Structures are given as C-alpha cells and as structure tokens.
Structure 1
C-alpha cells in the first residue's frame, strides 16, 4: 500500500428521544433544517401524496444517497443490526445569500455569505449560526404562485418551487426581499426598503408581492447542493441549499424571534471561528462552507452552477470515533463502511483503528487489522474472516507473522479455520499463513490448506511464496453448514488480478455481493505498481475484469487490505473502480507529458512533474509506479 493518491440548521433534530417532553441534546455533526417548526398559520406542508415531478439525475442520486432506491445489499440474514425503516423525508429549502466584499486592512475581501444566530432557547441547535430557510409550503408549489414569479428557461418546476420557498423564508426571517418590480416605471428594478416596509412578514408572501407589483426573482436563485437528513433521525428533511446574490441597497434585519444577529462572513473565517469555539455551526453548514471557501468571488459560484445541477448530493452517515459521533459524506473514507454495516443509519459502529480485537462487519465477515501501521500500510493490513460457527471460517490475508495478531485471528474463528487464502505474497500479507496453519494443527484441528498463487520469478526475495494449492481463476471456495434457522453457505469466487503483484488475486463473496480486493484497490490511497513483478498494463486490465465481475454480481462494497470498506449508493464498487482507473490514466497522461517535455530525462526528472501533487519524501516510492507507467507508454507507442 502507498499513500500516493493522491444544513443549515433548517430543523433536522439531532436527537432520538422516547419522550415527547425530553429536551433534545445537540451534536454539531447532526443535520437539521431550522425553520420547519415555525407556528405560521398561513403555512401548510406539501402533502406526501402530491404527484412527484420527473426526476433529474441528481434527484435520483439524492434518493439513492438516502437509500430510497435500494440497490444490491448483503443478505439481510447477515446484517448485524435489525432492519429499521427510516421515516419519510419532508421538503425544505435553504438559501445562501452572497456578496463580494472589498479588501480592507483587516480583511482580504472577496466572497461573503450571510448567516444568522439561532435563538438561545431554540429546541434544536441553540445559538448555532445558520443560513435562512425552512419548510416548503403547498402555496410555494401552486400554479398561481409559479406564474407570479420570474424563472429561467432552464429552471424546472421543482427548482422553481424551492426557489420561491427560499425567497419567502429569507424575507420572513431576515427581511431580505429577492423580488423585482414587474411593470410600470420601475419594471425590472429590485425591491427597495420602502417595498420591504410595506410587506408583513407574517402574511401570505406572494399575494403581498402581487399587490405591490413585485415578482419573486426565482430566476436569480440557483441550486448549490442537496442535503438529506440521515436515516436515524425521527424527523427528516430533504433540503436543497440554494444561492442568490444579496440585492444592493438592502440590509438584513432578523426577526428577533428565531433568528438574531445577521452577520456577513467569509467562509474561511466562519470555519476558523467555529474551530476556535466562537461560532457554533452544525455539520451541513460546516461542510457547505468548506466547499464554498474554494471560490474567491461570487461570480465563480454562479459560473459553476450554470447547468442547473448541484455541486454535491449528500445524505451523511455517522459512526463512533474516539467515543464520539463522527459524521461523513459519501466521498469520505469511512462512509462506505457505515453504509454496509449500518444501512438504516444506526450510530453504533466503531471507526477507531486498533489491532486488539476483530471488528464485525457482517454476521459472516470480521476484520482484524494487523499492528503494522505505516506510510506503506496505512492503519495496518486488514485480515478478514469469512464464515460463521456453523460453517467454519476462511481466513483472508493472515498478514505478517505477528504472534498476537495470529492468536487473535485464530480465537475470533473459534479455532475453526477451514482455509487460509493469501491475495498475494507481499510481506505484510502472507507470512502469517504458515504459523496460523500450525496453530490449527497444534489445537487438534484439521490442517487448513494455504491457498493462493505462487510467486513469480520476478518477485522480491521477501515475497517468495508457494501455497499448498494454486487457485484457479473463477474457482469457488465454499463453506456450508447447518445454522439454527436452516442451511447456510458462503461462497468465495477467485478472480486473478495481476498488476500490483504477478500473483495477486481478489475474492468475491457471491451471496452478499462483496469484493475482497487485497492491494489491488485501497481506501485512501493508490497502490504501488513496482516492476518487474508489478505491471501497469496488467493492473488496468485487472480493473476491467473486476468491474465486469461487480456488474455481473451486483457488487456494491469493496473490502480492501488497507482502509475502511469502500462503497455505498453514490460511490459503489463500480464507481470506485472507474474513479481509480480514471486516476491512473490521468497520472499516466502527466507521465507522458513529463517524458515529452524532457525526452532525455530520468525517472528522477519526470517524477517531479508527474507527481507534483505528492510530497517529495514519497517520490522514491512514486518512481516505482512511474516506471510502470513508462513501460506501458513505451509498449503502446507505435
């Protein structure tokens, strides 16, 4: 392994309470839309049975992220936790009002966003800084309301409804009026302070606009992101995070009931103040500001949103890290593991890396990480046990010959290890096979065969390996037994995957759609391809072979030899493989460009350009993969 790779508080309760009278506790990593509990008599939530609008790709992604469109999953009988149906989501909308501030002696200027502080007595997230927003009302989606607003030709009905709701909420909470005059001498001009003063924040919004000749400027509101509250919450909302420019000449005035102290702040400054404990925010707000901080000016944000697609779609998941809840988005390393182990959002799975005890991932899959963390191994080498007491176990990658690690692995299997499989023969994967086998024999158990592929002549001395039996491509390794509720089987299909090593193989657990990827696919880094035993052409071909196997068997999750489980509804197994292949080919393009720029250069010359995004201390290792790319480039050259 090598590390070369490269909500607003709009009302998502952060608690689970069995008592209607229990005051909720707040956790900064929970997700709530803040204004959905407002006692406004003119509002009526959209009925759940309202006809659904046609879905765009990002809307399908949002449903997949929230697991409303269920994909392949491990057998329910193998899940660790009983199924719990998440509550249905309700629609809401949040708007980020943006402006460009001039540079000053105390500030570099640039993009700022308007935020407000929630009431200190709010039931959820008191004193949290948020963006304005709240529930979508039936009136927001009414045809008459749509006709009263300005819209872009590319803005569909759903986006229009969301924009109108956001405009209404920004007025009710902050007195900001995103509306223009529709006719007369002021046609096209933004609403001014006199217009704002003429409207009542507690009366029907669009009707008041019409009476004053104003049209809500939905055409000026764009979709930035889409958040869905996690599955463990008792009240759940789907919340588009929208953006709009702050109209010139208007000043925010908080309603002093739910929102207080409007403040303009640079995203980076808000994050720094939050880290210092001076500006409390919740998870989706923090993550949105992190991404917004990448934009220097307001126009850059709107340029990125021209295609009417959100920059990200997320339904985060949470686990336990260092004894506390920790929440993750789909592109973060722990997300796939949480999706597999706790599909319904239970916040119970430990994410701390440790080598003292096995981590159950399913009833029939355990992971034990070897105590060999480092630059090349990440948190350590993952050994896996597949099986159960009724079938016995297959040990995958027993790891280094560490007595404590092997003893823990043996005890986790109850000593009933039927087979030992090495995905390849590198020294952090296979040396433990023989002593683990001996432990079984010494305990009076049958001698489990050590299976895999023999090392090639190109292997380094430390990677020489001869299994008891060589595994054939597509061979099936079957565990079968009689469980209390009936017969059970666990079948591993062997897939030859040379590339990282000439004798590398992967294993596919057919009944549960899981891929054990060894070092071919890692989480958090890309594997080193070290010629001559490593070969980049073989590696890429093997990725294609794995992709085909995942497509055939509906594989959603990848269990790597280093790092957490990969997968989930938005970045499943096939998407992870495609992303990895694209990364490799992009790296190869940089290698080719370096070679063309310096035809007489050396590996030391080329690595500076092709791996300029990698710390120089890692360049000696990177040169091995660079050489593999060079060999492939020269082989493909006409």
Structure 2
C-alpha cells in the first residue's frame, strides 16, 4: 500500500480550502490567592473589535519590538524556558508583559537593584510610551522568569480572523492594582475559575471557548502554587486548535480531547464547519463520498448512542454493509434504502446481538428489491459464545482476506477494498476491517469512542484482546491509518495514540486488579471489583466483574508461565 493511495482527497465531501493565516499574540493569566483558593484577573473587552464584550485574560498581538534583540536583553529569563522554547518563547513572554502593562498598568519587572518594582515605581511610567525604552533608561529588567507556559491555543480553522496564542501564568505583583485603559479593556475583575464558570453558565459573564476551557482546566488546582508546581517541567499542559461542529441547533467548539474531535477532523480536514453531531436514527450520515453511517435505535449503557452500521462504496460500485446491527426492521430498511438496495456484501465484525442479527433480514430485503443476493460474511461464533450470540456466516473470512468493489469515479475506475483482520479478545470471532485505499480502520467493538469494551470470558479473553491491540497498532503504522471508525460512538482520530492510550488504560486497570488480589488473596470477584474499580460508579460494577475476571485469568496465566 503506497501512501499516495491513502486518504483519497477525491472522497472528501467538500473541496478543501486554506484556513486564514494566524496572527501571533500572547496572553498572561495573573493569579492571586484568596480565602477559598485563588483568583485569576479578567477584563471585559471593548464593545467593538475582537471578542466584543467578552471577559478575557490580558494580552494582545506580538509586535516587531518584542522580537528586537536589544529588548530581549532587558529580559531576566530562566534557562529552562530558553531551552524549551528558544528566543520565540522570550518574544512571546515579553509581548504578554508589554500588553498587560499597556492595558492594565500592571508590570512584571525588577528595578536596577534586582527587586520587584513597587507600585509607586510603576506609577512613574507612561503607559502610552515605549515600555522597553523606559525600562532601559531606568535600568529595569522585565520579569520573564516569573512567567510559566500553561497552554497554547490556535483559533479554529473556520474563523475569519485567527490568533496563535501562548497562555502564560504568573503571580500578580504584590501591591499593584489593575487599572483598565478604558480603550481596549474595561472592568478588571478578580474571580475564581469555578465562580467564573458558574457565572458563564448563568449567562452573566460572556467568555469565548478557549477561555472557558482554560478555566475548566484551572479549576482543579487548589491555589496559585499548585498551578505553578504543575508547570515546573517547562512543558505546557495542553495545545489545542479546536474544531467546529453543529450540535443541538448551534455551532459548538471541540478540543482534541473531546469525543467528537476526530470525526470533525475526518469529515472536514480543513476545518470547515457544518457537520452535524447530533445522534439520530432517521438519516444516513455522510462521512466521505464512499462512506455512510447509520446508527441503530438501540442506545444504552452497553451500546452508547447505538450500533453504527456502515456502508462502504458508491452508486457505481454498490456497497458493503458493515454490522447491520440488531434485527430492527426500520433501521434495516434505512440501511437498504441508503444503498439504493445495491448491497453487494454484508459483513459482521462479530456475533453479538447488537451487530449480527440484522444480517439475514437485510439480505432478504436486498433480494426482495430485485438485487442479487449479497453473501453474509464474517467468522462463525465459537462454542464459548453466549446463546444470544450465535452466528454462522455464509462465507468465512480468513485473516487478511480482501473484499473489493469496483466502480467508476471522476478520474476513471475506482475501488473500495476491505481487508479482514482477525482480532479476538472482545469476542472469539471478532474481526476488524481495513479500508485499504483510504487507510481507515473499522474497529467493531474492539476499540470504542467514549468507553472501553467489555472483555467477558469465556468468549472474551484479555490476552487475546491486548495482542489484537498490538496487531492493530502495527497495521495502522504500516498503512498510515489515522482514523478509526468504531461500532459505537464518533470517529476517532490519532489512531495509534488511541490504541496506545487504550492499552495503557487496560494495563493500569490490570495492575489495580493484581493489587486487589494481593490485598485480599481469599477475596471474591466482588471484593476485588470494589478495590480495582473504586473509581467507577457502583452501578457499573456488575459489568466490570466480567472484565475483571478476564484480567484475573491473564494474571494467573502470566504468573503460571514464569
């Protein structure tokens, strides 16, 4: 598989456009302790201009003077800051200090004796004159060493004006008072992160998305020192360029850590807005020109928003239906109709009742509409399968076997090739599928979005599950797979990172299980669940018992094999 065939631009739903170039800026979060924790300084933006009337942290655009080596010479820096970010980090920090002084009259600086400047000394400066020239004349240095790199925000790609902004934090200089310039900034306000979020929820404080998410992340810290302690490694806590979707009738922003981010990236790589994220059962959701998703109306604790059925192909090639889902006539009819009845193959990732029972009824629908009978393909259920999970395909797929559709595209012949990948673990007959031309992985229940799959012995096996994760990781590396299409939830991005995160989570849980077994060697499964899943709602413990048992079996097997 050559990289030129992966992620075919011809299959994207919309022509791609170049996002507006970003402008560099810098922001400082000034913090001070208070009786119930700490507060951050916010100000209201002017009624005109960028972020009109929004409460923000002080800052502004980088200027040529901020990068001037002569002005860099005025900065007192930490070596770690320079090592981590180079001269650009100094430029950004200086810009934040300068903007904070110009907008609020607050200055992070040292006088010529090396002491922090006093409020009286700051009062002698002209906020409209060059800060750098005034400091140079007075022998002052700018306290870049008091700034810590918290986060980095790059504005969403669909916005008409975009900024690229490091967020620094620093203690508020002792004794100084913020006085707004009444031009760009108004109403300096000290407020705790949680209180600000509460006022935002009550619609009495308007903030933009990066401010909201920053406050959410800040709310977990007890005081100013806790914030600074978290930044001592000189590594920022997050770097985000949000994407925009359409949810519950309005535009919504999503960070990389949000469940919908990978899908937004997948559908519109260039960041265009407009993709609908509401879960619904009536309409097919176009993900690519050759890929539709229809979600079965079976939402629940184990199925999330419902089982995703996928149609791969197009009108010229016909379609492959992946996981027709439960025997839900209305869902199967929609699946049939979305393909115009031209379903050439029906494949099932595994035999569970939310995945395979719809296969035979869908096959009958296709025949009844005058099309050729599509074979039902997959792996037969093992003897260990539950009574409601029996499945016998008409065609047994071997590991690595391919199913290919051929059609006509704008540039000539086009193919859609699914490769079967044997991935036991969640179920003994589990398959994933690789859409080779587009480097997409259909993960069935092996990898989900928003939860971890249950591994329930005897049909489920944790050794097999983890080995299959390694196999999928290798395939993603070989084929350049970046997106995973799960049977439950939105599309996942950063495929290999998702797999690594999932494996790490499983092994961390297994370590807790092993610790519980050592703490209570004569304990029951219920005793061990209470310890190993103490961070999980008790309502989920009965389900967790199944995966815990799979971990116990793996631990015992590994220990016996030593």
- Could you say which residue in structure 2 is the equivalent of 1:93? 26
* Greater relative contact order (CA < 8 Å, ≥ 6 in sequence): 1
Q: In 1, are the aligned partners of 2:307 and 2:354 still within 8 Å (CA)?
A: yes
Tell me which of 94, 104, 119 is aligned to 1:164: 94
How far did residue 205 of structure 1 move?
1.2
Residue 276 of structure 1 is matched in structure 2 by 202
Partner of 2:522, secondary structure, is: coil
Q: Which residue of 2 aligns with 1:586?
A: 508
Alignment partners' CA distance in 2, 1:562 and 1:604: 28
Q: Within 2, Cα distance between the matches of 1:369 and 1:216?
A: 57
Distance 1:177 1:148 in 2: 14
Note if 1:481 corresponds to 2:411. Answer: no
Within a 5 Å distance, the mapping from 1:35-184 to structure 2 comes to 74-101=7-34, 103=35, 109-119=36-46, 121-156=47-82, 157-182=87-112
| 2:165 alignment partner, SS class | strand
In structure 1, distance between residues paired with 2:30 and 2:312: 52
> What is the Cα deviation at residue 147 of structure 1?
0.9
Aligned partner of 1:321 among 247, 261, 279: 247
Question: In structure 1, which of residues 259, 264, 280 is the aligned counterpart of residue 185 of structure 2?
Answer: 259
Q: 2 CA distance for matches of 1:482 and 1:364?
A: 12
Matched-pair contact (CA < 8 Å) for 1:366–1:386: yes
What is the distance in 1 between the residues matched to 2:68 and 2:265?
Answer: 37
Report 1:193-342 matches (<5 A).
193-342=119-268
Spell out, residue by residue over 1:269-328, the C-alpha distance to the aligned partner (whole angstroms, 9 max, x if none): 000011011111110000000000111011111111112111000000010001100111
Q: CA deviation at 1:379?
A: 0.2
Task: Return the offset for 1:230.
Answer: 1.1
- 8 Å Cα contact 1:333/1:564 also seen in 2: yes
Is contact 1:72–1:555 with CA below 8 Å preserved after alignment?
A: no
Matches of 2:278 and 2:530 in 1, distance apart? 35
Displacement of 1:142 after TM fit?
1.3
CA 1:159–1:72: 2 relative to 1, 3 Å: farther
1:398–1:436 Cα contact (<8 Å) kept: yes
Of residues 535, 547, 550, the one that matches 1:613 is 535
1:399 partnered with 2:325: yes
Shift of 1:134: 0.5
2:351 is aligned to 425
5+ residue gaps, structure 1? 1-69, 104-108
Q: In structure 1, how many angstroms separate the alpha carbons of the residues matched to 2:377 and 2:464?
A: 22
The answer for the alignment partner of 2:468 in structure 1 is 542
Task: Tell me, yes or no, if the aligned pair for 1:72 and 1:556 is still in contact at 8 Å.
Answer: no
The two structures have a TM-score, normalised by structure 2, of: 0.97
Q: Which whole-Å CA distance do the structure 2 matches of 1:532 and 1:155 have between them?
A: 53
CA contact (8 A) 1:116 1:262 kept: yes
Contact 1:96 1:241 survives alignment (8 Å): yes
Q: Which runs of 4+ in 1 moved over 6 A?
A: 70-73
Tell me, yes or no, if the aligned pair for 2:154 and 2:240 is still in contact at 8 Å. Answer: yes
Compared with structure 1, are the counterparts of its residues 547 and 72 closer, same or farther at alpha carbon in structure 2 (3 Å cutoff)? farther
CA distance in 1 between partners of 2:99 and 2:484 (Å) = 43
Task: Report the CA distance between 1:98 and its aligned residue.
Answer: 0.7
Instruction: Tell me if the contact between 2:325 and 2:358 (Cα under 8 Å) persists in the aligned partners.
Output: yes
Q: Secondary structure at the match of 1:481?
A: strand
SS of the equivalent of 1:308 reads coil
What are the Cα deviations for residues 542-601 of structure 1, in whole angstroms up to 9, with x where unaligned? Answer: 00000000000000000000000000xxxx000000000000000000000000000000
Any idea what the Cα deviations from partners look like across 1:576-633, whole Å, max 9, x if unmatched? 0000000000000000000000000000000011111111111001000000000000
Say which of 280, 290, 303 aligns to 1:377: 303
Q: Give distance in 2, aligned partners of 1:483 and 1:251.
A: 66
CA distance in 1, matches of 2:6, 2:128: 48
* Aligned residues: CA RMSD: 1.2
Give the number of aligned pairs. Answer: 554
| Mapped partners of 1:75, 1:311: distance in 2 | 34
Distance in 1, Cα, partners of 2:523 & 2:134: 72
Residues in 1 aligned to 2:283 and 2:479: alpha-carbon distance in whole angstroms: 31
1:196 positional shift: 1.6
Give the match for residue 596 of structure 1. 518
2-side partners of 1:363 and 1:202: how far apart? 56
Contact kept? 1:380, 1:562, Cα under 8 Å: yes
Q: Distance in 1 between matches of 2:543 and 2:258?
A: 25
Residue 552 of structure 2 aligns to a residue whose secondary structure is helix
The offset of 1:127, in angstroms, is: 2.0
SS at match of 1:630: helix
**1: CA distance, partners of 2:127 / 2:289:** 55
